[in-house]
Amino acid sequence: MTKHEFFVDMTCEGCSGAVTRVLNKLGGVQFDIDLPNKKVFIESDHSVDLLLETLKKTGKNASYIGTK
Amino acid sequence: LYSILVSVEGMTCNSCVESIEDKIGKLQGVYSIKVSLDSKNAMMFFDPTFQTTESLREAIDDMGFEASVSV
Ligand SMILES: [Cu+2]
Ligand SMILES: [Cu+2]
C-alpha cells in the first residue's frame, strides 16, 4: 500500500473529526491526521483522485502533496 | 416550500458552521440554511422538487458531521 500525503485546510477539532468520518465511511484506508500542520497521511489502495474527492466532501480546501 | 430541522453532531466552532452553510446552501433547491452551533442543528428551507428530507440529511452526513432528522 502506498502512503499519500494531503494538505487539508483544517482549523479545528470539528474539521479533523469530519475528515475522520468521511475517510471511515469510504473504508479501505489507514490514516493519520496532523491538525496543526493541516496534513492528512493516508495509506490505501484507492486512487489519489478518489481520496482527494473524499477529503473535499468536508467542504475544506484539499490538495495532494505526494507520496511519503 | 418545505422546512426541516436536522440534528448535527461534531461541530466545534463557527468555521464548522460556515462550511456546512456554505456547501449545503449551494445545493439545488435549497433556499436557506441556518446552522446553530449551540443547538447543534440545521434549519433548512427547500424545494421538494429537488431535495428531500433524506437527501439533505445525507448531504450533511457526507460532509463528515453526524446528522439525523429530529422529527
Ligand atoms: Cu474546523
Ligand atoms: Cu470548527
B contacts of A20 (beta carbons < 8 Å):
64
Residue A62 C-alpha, separation from nearest chain B C-alpha, in angstroms:
13
* pLDDT for the residue B55: 97
The full set of domain ranges for chain B reads 2-69
Question: Cell for B66?
Answer: 453526524
List, in order of start, the domains of chain A with CATH numbers. 2-67 (3.30.70.100)
CATH number given to B2-69: 3.30.70.100
Give B53's Cβ-side CA count (13 Å radius): 10
Average pLDDT in the B63-69 region?
97
Question: Please, what is the average pLDDT of chain A?
Answer: 96
CB B35 within 8 A of CB B42: yes
Q: Over pLDDT 90: what percentage of chain A?
A: 96
B10, B13, B22 ranked by CB distance to A18: nearest: B10
pLDDT digits (tens, 9 = 90+) for B18-35: 999 999 999 999 999 999
Average pLDDT in the A20-30 region?
97
* pLDDT for the residue B71: 65
Q: Which residues of B37-62 are buried (b: 16+ CB within 10 A; e: fewer)?
A: eeebbbebebeeeebebeebbebbbb
- Rounded Cα gap, residues A48 and B12, in angstroms: 29
Reported as a pLDDT band with limits 50, 70 and 90, residue B62 is very high
